[in-house]
């Protein structure tokens, strides 16, 4: 956190990079949203920043990455996985009291160390073409979904393998099967949350999505 006059501001690092997503668009959307709460924001495409988290004063890492192969025919220098050292450092930072919000494709981890899947509480498996579906909060009360009612969204519906120990907060139903789309978990002295919604501007501008993301941030670092 940083001190601005007599006010202490929570400090957030937004990590971006990979393929298939509008990383700049997401960064702009999150800046507009989080500036309203006067958080201090930094942005980085350099995954090596993970190895320096213990030396930083960040309260939260918001990851919007997609660690996968590039589109066919595209030549790029983007990294398709976190290094083992980066994963180890991230795990240690969260377990020591850090907070991690894995947004949308952050569960697409490519060839990263499986310890990253354990930290996140799950991993991406697949998704059908974008479609309209209903996001449904579960009845159990939680600060992440407080006041949020069911809403319809046109988005990628992520099908993910997840650990039974995670606390599921929202699901989406497709072809008579319910899929978790928001969960949280404790990790040592730290906290982790995952929200799988968020592929495009069409989603980022939804009031319900913004409410969900903002409450996830607040639960992770202010409770």
C-alpha span between 71 and 40 (Å, rounded)? 34
Q: Which is more confident, 8 or 149?
A: 149
Give the per-residue pLDDT at 223.
Answer: 67
Number of domains within the chain = 1
On whether residue 147 sits in a domain, the answer given is no
Q: Averaged over 114-129, what is the pLDDT? A: 98
Q: Is the pLDDT of residue 5 over 60?
A: no
Give the range among 5-9, 70-74, 84-88, 139-143 with minimum mean pLDDT: 5-9
Give the per-residue pLDDT at 69.
Answer: 81
Write down the residue that tokens 């979904």 correspond to.
Answer: 145
On whether residue 156 sits in a domain, the answer given is no
On whether residue 49 sits in a domain, the answer given is yes
On whether residue 154 sits in a domain, the answer given is no
Write down the residue that tokens 């969960």 correspond to.
Answer: 183
On whether residue 168 sits in a domain, the answer given is no
On whether residue 137 sits in a domain, the answer given is no
Cα 171 to Cα 42, 151, 163: the distances in Å are 31, 11, 15
SS3 22: coil
C-alpha span between 135 and 152 (Å, rounded)? 6
C-alpha span between 46 and 174 (Å, rounded)? 36
Give the per-residue pLDDT at 7.
Answer: 64
On whether residue 166 sits in a domain, the answer given is no
- Can you give the CATH number for the domain in which 88 is found? 3.40.50.880
Give the per-residue pLDDT at 26.
Answer: 98
Q: Which is more confident, 70 or 127?
A: 127
Write down the residue that tokens 């939680």 correspond to.
Answer: 142
Residues of the chain with pLDDT > 90, as a percent, come to: 88
On whether residue 20 sits in a domain, the answer given is yes
* Residues of the domain holding 66: 2-124+184-222
């Amino acid at each position: 956190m940083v001190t601005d006059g007599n006010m202490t501001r929570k400090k957030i690092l937004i990590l971006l990079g990979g393929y298939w997503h509008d990383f700049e668009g997401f960064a702009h959307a999150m800046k507009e949203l989080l500036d309203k709460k006067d958080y201090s924001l930094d942005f980085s495409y350099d995954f090596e920043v993970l190895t320096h988290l213990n030396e930083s004063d960040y309260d939260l890492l918001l990851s919007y990455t997609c660690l996968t192969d590039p589109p066919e025919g595209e030549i790029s220098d983007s990294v398709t996985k976190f290094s083992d050292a980066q994963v180890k450092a991230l795990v240690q930072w969260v377990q020591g009291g850090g907070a991690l919000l894995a947004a949308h494709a952050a569960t697409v981890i490519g060839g990263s160390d499986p310890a990253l899947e354990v930290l996140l509480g799950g991993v991406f498996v697949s998704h059908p073409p974008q479609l309209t579906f209903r996001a449904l909060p579960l009845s159990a009360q939680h600060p992440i979904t407080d006041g949020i009612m069911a809403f319809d969204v046109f988005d990628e519906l992520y099908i993910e393998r997840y650990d039974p120990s995670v606390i599921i907060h929202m699901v989406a139903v497709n072809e008579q099967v319910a899929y978790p789309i928001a969960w949280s978990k404790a990790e040592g002295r730290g906290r982790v949350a995952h929200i799988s919604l968020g592929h495009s501007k069409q989603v980022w501008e939804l009031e319900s999505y913004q409410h969900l993301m903002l409450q996830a941030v607040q639960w992770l670092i202010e409770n």
